[in-house]
Amino acid sequence: MKDLKELKKIEQFSDQCMKCGFCSFFCPVYQEEKMETSVARGKNFLIKEVLAGRQEFTPEMGDIIGKCLLCKRCAANCPSKTQIDRVVVGARAQMVKEKGLGAIKNFAFRKVMANRKAFGKYARLMQKFQWMMPTTEGKIKHLPDFVKGLGKRNFPALSKTFLRDQVKPVYKPQNGQQAKMRVGFFMGCAMDFVYPELGLKIIDFLTRHGVEVVVPEDQNCCGAAIYFSGDLETGRMLADLNIKAYKDLNVDYIVTGCGTCSSTLKDYQKYLPDNEDQLQRYTEFEKKIKDSTEFIIDILKVPPEEFKLKKEFEGKTATWHDPCHLIRYQNIKDQPRAILKALKGLKFVEMPNADLCCGMGGSFSVYHYDLTKKIALKKMDGIKATGADIVVTACPGCMINLLDNVLLNKMPQKVHHLLELVE
Amino acid sequence: MLKESVISELQKIVGKDNVLTAPEALKAYSYDGTTSWIHEPDAVVFPTTTDEVSRIMKLANAEKIPVTPRGGGTNVSGGSVPWLGGIVMTMTKFNKILRVDKENLTATVEPGVVLQDLTMRLAKDGLFFPPDPQSFLGATMGGIISENAGGPAGVKYGVTKQYILGIEVVLANGDIIHLGGRTLKNVVGYDLLHIFISGEGTLGVITKAELKLNPLPQARKTLCVVYDDVAVAGEGVFRVLENGVIPCKIEMIDNWVINRIEEMMPIGLPKDADACLLFEVDGMPEVVEKEAEKIAEITKKYGAKEARIAPNQDEANKYWLARRAGFAAVFGKAKQVFAEDVTVPRGNIPAFIKKIREIAKTFDVEIVVLGHAGDGNLHPAVLTDPANKDHYERALKAVDAIIESAAVEFGGVLSGEHGIGLEKKKFMRKVTEPAVINMMKGIKALIDPNNIMNPGKIWE
């Protein structure tokens, strides 16, 4: 009998499914493909077949379990509360265990992303060559046609100076305030390489509100793309590095402005543990993690009148996109809205289906870019219906994909992180 | 296994992407919403036009390949499981709402339209399609018609067959026929339309349907009525109706279900109640107010402990969410559940419930009731575990006893809304006159002489 260790871990979740098929209504991939292999019920059935020894991890099976955004819309609406995200990640982990990662992911995850210095080096290399990429508008580049696998997509330019090269190790509260609390700032890759100003902005906001901020140099990638692809081993390595980076800093919380990072750091305990010790350490770590929106509203309790709208957004209409990693992974939906509604001079309009996945799904969009675009089209319809000038969210991953699709659909909207709007 | 030439013919008809033969895909089309009816097809095809369906049927008929039509695959009878292999004809991409006609209160739809999508579309015009099978999030119109589906609203609005004016059907030989029409009245010859509605896909493939719609009610009210005795709750159902109120839904949850719901998502249902009835009334705002009060009055007069009128829609939603969660609660608690679909005349509900309790005692198994009490479709569910052989045997006997008592003793039927498919096949002969079965066979032989349409189901 084969060792099905990773699958055995999720067998109990897989057993929850009673095959009602209601997931089909909520699955963005099924809504495009209308095939049973696209939807949670089908994937779960096939994964159970693997558990029963009747199905191997064939290339087709790999495609099927790969074609999931992990948006958790099905899980959130499942009558029997099947945690299909855990089932899918478990199946991917089992597959990685049996078949390896494949050359591209192996290089990307283990040689580049898992090593902060190497990641920086490669990013810098890309930065040097990005003049070769045609410019769409301002700081937005699009990948040239010869990068076939990625399609002709629009991309925000890599920043000239990365965030890590600009930050100080410690920021004291401004205006001589006594520090209310001490938090560790977690930048995340996108903020580090693409949106460094945003990182500085968040640090500035926190210190202005009496928070002492420390930014450990040896923090790493959160590991989302890595462990959600089934590379739990590298995921655990990153988890351990990140836990170590903040261990002796004596911080009350660890705050990040990236919805995916905050959810990923919180969920180490859910997807990664291989033993009791890890479970305990990851669970301990989870307690410290706060998404920036959650931290500002629930912990700092910044009152509405203290949110000032930045001048350039005066009189604009904004709509909010719920990142999957905020609304469903962390149940954060009221906090960002509270901030938006507090900003005087900004008109806030809900878009239809604000919780619909933008279609990014991390590496999903690399392998299934056509599907990403189709799924994003529904998001774009929602945005159009609001007549908003700006689309606001709090996940750089979503921002990159929203930006691409707004431009592809020749829409006038600008895409912003929520905290970019705040003075 | 299908011949290479057949596969390539199919690919010619619907395009390469719309023919699946990979083992993984075949597995994904081997099941429906039931627990244990599983059989793989040899190919899965996705037609998007009537012409494509017709050409597939001609090919299948010439080669004598079984064809099982399938939509969302949410059915709970085994009806869309390809029991003899062959082709699964999946209609999920054949899914346009072709017309919404406000003047005539009708809609024209393709078979793959999901009921919830239709509901959302119709709401824009202030209309709705009244039958409400609770699988509405995945169920498609072709399947809903073929299974003559119903739901809680059956008590006031009836079931699917009352809302189908006409259909387009592709027969086993590829012929395209039209039955019924677009009018409310239609007595032109035999009523063949209704043989296809509830035909469970054994007579032909429905490719288009003309639906009868209603204007969306302006207001709704929900009541939660609490009982110390489940049989008294059963009486409450017909007392309300005989006193002149026709609610759109009357649902029953028994003590066991109430407690599972409270474990999963506490909403404050009374855990010591033997049963609760959930009522919903709909219509003009003034009318629903009056009707809700009247229901509270009647139920209390006939033995209810408490009748709570939900003060707002939020609380009403909570009750209905709980009702839906009840279904999951039952399935989550047992390895296998025999969710029976027997239906009795309303007046016999109290006696039937008492009988169910006796049966549970006799065979020492858990039998829970959460069903559409308003139309006698009670869904008693027997909980068991196939791994425990002794228990499983007793559960099977309990199922036999339930069906026997409902269908014979209490003048009811074997299935109210799920259909026979595979799940209820073994009971079909028991409760149906041989002459009737022979007539069904004769009709089948006439319409599908090669027996390729969804073979192995209902009476076979």
- Kindly report, residue by residue over A358-369, the tens digit of the pLDDT: 999 988 988 899
Which of B28, B114, B332 is closest, CB to CB, to A36? B28
Residues A186-243 have pLDDT tens digits of: 999 999 999 999 999 999 999 999 999 999 999 999 999 999 999 999 999 999 999 9
Q: Per the structure block, which two tokens stand in for A167?
A: 């930050």
- This complex has an ipTM of 0.94
Query: Is residue B364 pLDDT above 60, yes or no?
Result: yes
**In chain A, pLDDT over 70 holds for what percent of residues?**
94
CA distance B245 to A278: 61
Whether the CB of A314 is below 8 Å from some CB of chain B: the reply is: no
pLDDT tens, residue by residue, A4-58: 999 999 999 999 998 999 999 999 999 999 999 999 999 999 999 999 999 999 9
- What radius of gyration, in Å, describes the C-alpha atoms of chain A? 21
Mark whether A63 and A117 lie in a shared domain.
no
Chains A and B: how many Cβ contacts under 8 Å?
86
With pLDDT > 90 as the criterion, what percentage of chain B qualifies?
85
Decide if A393 contacts A418 (C-beta within 8 A).
Answer: yes
Facing A36 at nearest CB: one of B23, B29, B331: B29
Q: Are residues A317 and A356 in the same domain?
A: yes
Residues of A in contact with B24 (CB under 8 A): 37, 46, 55, 58, 60-61, 64
In chain B, the residue whose alpha carbon lies closest to the alpha carbon of A80 is B328
Do A45 and B31 make contact, defined as CB atoms within 8 angstroms?
A: yes
Query: From start to end of A41-189, where are the E strands?
Result: 135-137, 140-142, 154-156, 170-171, 181-186
Q: Report which of residues B443 and A81 the model is more confident about.
A: B443
- Of A287, A302, A317, the last residue of a domain is A302
Q: For residue A392, what is the domain's CATH number? A: 3.40.50.1860
In the CATH scheme, what is the code of domain B218-328?
Answer: 3.30.70.3450
* Residue of chain A minimizing CA distance to B76: A20
- Residue at A117 is within a domain: yes
Tell me whether residues B138 and A24 touch, CB distance under 8 A.
Answer: yes
The residue of chain A with its CA nearest to that of B95 is A34
Both A150 and A289 in one domain: the answer is yes
Chain B residues in contact with chain A using a Cβ-Cβ cutoff of 8 Å:
20, 22-25, 27-29, 31-35, 46, 72-74, 90, 92-93, 95, 112, 114, 116, 135, 137-138, 264, 324-325, 327-328, 331-332
Q: Would you state the pLDDT for residue A140?
A: 66
For the segment B371-389, the average pLDDT, to the nearest whole number, is 91
Which tokens is A75 given?
């899980």
Residues of A in contact with B325 (CB under 8 A): 79
Of A25, A37, A46, the CB nearest to B138: A25
Q: Last residue of a domain, which of A67, A99, A131?
A: A99
Total count of domains within chain A: 3
- SS3 call for B260: helix
Residue A318 DSSP one-character state: E
Q: Which of A20, A45, A46, A370 to mutate to test the interface with B (most CBs of B within 10 A)?
A: A20
User: Are the Cβ atoms of B31 and A20 closer than 8 angstroms?
Assistant: no
List of residues 6+ apart from A415 with CB closer than 8 A: A390, A391, A392, A393, A399, A402, A403, A406
Using CB atoms, pick whichever of A16, A21, A22 lies closest to residue B332.
Answer: A16
Residue A344 shares a structural domain with residue A240: no
> Quick check: A1 pLDDT over 70?
no
Quick: pLDDT tens for B205-231: 999 999 999 999 999 999 999 999 999
Give me the residue from B27, B34, B327 closest to A79, CB to CB: B327
Within 69-88 of A, beta carbons closer than 8 Å to B belong to 77, 79-81
Q: Are A27 and A40 in contact (CB under 8 A)?
A: yes
CB spacing of B28 vs A45 below 8 angstroms: yes
Q: Nearest-CA distance from B268 to chain A in Å? A: 19
Q: What percent of chain B lies above the pLDDT cut of 70? A: 100
**Over chain A, what is the mean pLDDT?**
92
A16/B contact by beta carbon, under 8 A? yes
Q: Are residues A46 and A187 in the same domain?
A: no
For A267-276, write each residue's pLDDT tens digit: 999 999 999 9
Partner-chain contact A34 B93, CB within 8 Å: yes
Domain boundary among A64, A99, A134: A99
Looking at the fold, whether A237 and A137 belong to one and the same domain comes out as yes
Predicted confidence (pLDDT) at residue A298 exceeds the cutoff of 80: yes
* pLDDT at residue A102, as a whole number: 83
Q: At what angle do helices A59-66 and A84-99 cross, to 10 degrees?
A: 150
Backbone phi, psi, residue B379, to 5°: 45, 55
Interface of A with B in 47-66 (CB under 8 A): 49, 55, 58, 60-61, 64
Distances (CA, A) of A197 to A131, A413, B371: 21, 20, 58
Residues A312, A295, single domain; the answer is no
Question: A368 in a domain, yes or no?
Answer: yes
Q: Are residues A199 and A333 in the same domain?
A: no
Based on the fold, state whether residues A314 and A415 are members of the same structural domain. Answer: yes
DSSP state of B294: H
Residue A147 has pLDDT above 60, yes or no: no
Looking at residue A120, what is its pLDDT? 79
Same domain, A291 and A145: yes
Asked if B325 lies within 8 A of A79 by C-beta distance, the reply is yes
Do B165 and B210 touch, CB atoms closer than 8 A? Answer: yes
pLDDT of residue B329: 78
Closest Cα in chain A to B28:
A42
Interval B223-267: pLDDT, tens = 999 999 999 999 999 999 999 999 999 999 999 889 988 888 888
Nearest CA in chain B to A79: B328
Q: Rounded mean pLDDT of B293-312?
A: 96
Strand ranges (DSSP E) for B228-344?
249-254, 275-283, 306-309, 336-339
* Residues 6 or more apart in contact with residue B256 via CB below 8 angstroms: B366, B368
Q: In what order do the strands lie in the sheet with B87-90?
A: B19-20, B43-45, B87-90, B67-70
Contact between residue A168 and residue A217 where contact means Cβ atoms under 8 Å apart: no
Nearest to A22 among B20, B23, B137 (CB): B137
Is B27 within 8 Å of A79 when comparing Cβ atoms?
no
pLDDT, average across residues B171-183: 97
pLDDT tops 60 at residue B145: yes
Q: A236 is in which domain, residue-wise?
A: 109-302
pLDDT digits (tens, 9 = 90+) for B422-459: 999 989 988 899 999 999 999 999 999 999 999 999 98
Q: How confident is the model at residue A133 (pLDDT cuts 50, 70, 90)?
A: low
Q: What is the CATH number of domain B1-216?
A: 3.30.465.10
Domain range list for chain B: 1-216, 218-328, 334-422
Work out whether strand A211-214 and strand A170-171 pair parallel, antiparallel, or are unpaired. antiparallel
Residues A229 and A312 in one domain: no
A18 and B74 within 8 Å at the Cβ level: the answer is: no
CA atoms in the 13 A half-sphere facing the CB of A266? 19
- A185, A214 contact by CB (below 8 A): yes
- Band (B408; pLDDT cuts 50, 70, 90): confident
What band does A139 get if pLDDT is binned at 50, 70 and 90? low
Q: What is the pLDDT of residue B328?
A: 76
- CATH of the domain spanning B334-422: 3.30.70.2740
Q: Mean pLDDT across chain B, nearest whole number? A: 94
Contact assignment for A22 to B325 by CB distance below 8 Å: no
Domains B218-328 and B334-422 share a fold: yes
pLDDT single digits (tens) B95-127: 999 999 999 999 999 999 999 999 999 999 999
Does B328 sit within 8 Å of A42, measured CB to CB? no
Nearest CA-CA distance, residue B367 and chain A, Å: 19
Looking at this protein, which amino acid is placed at residue A83? Q
Cα-based angle B268, B274, B275 (whole degrees, multiple of 5):
70
Q: Provide the strand spans (E) within B356-433.
A: 366-371, 380-384
Distance from CA of B31 to the nearest CA of A (A): 9
- Please, are residues A343 and A418 in contact by the beta-carbon 8 Å criterion? no
Q: Do the Cβ atoms of B137 and A42 come within 8 Å?
A: no
**Closest in B27, B34, B331 to A80, CB measured:** B331
Q: Is residue A136 over pLDDT 70?
A: no
Contacting residues of B for A58, CB less than 8 Å apart:
23-24
Of A21, A60, A26, A61, nearest in space to A41 by CA = A21
Q: DSSP readout, A7-50?
A: HHHHHHHHTT-----THHHH-HHHHHH--GGGSHHHHHHHHHHH
Say whether A20 and B332 touch across the interface (CB within 8 A).
no
Please give the residue of chain A at the shortest CA–CA distance from B17: A33
Query: Is residue B48 over pLDDT 70?
Result: yes
Match 């023919």 to its residue by tokens.
Answer: B19
Asked, for residue A104, whether it belongs to a domain, the answer is no
Q: Which of B19, B27, B144 to mutate to test the interface with A (most CBs of A within 10 A)?
A: B27
* Cβ-nearest to A34 among B27, B92, B328: B92
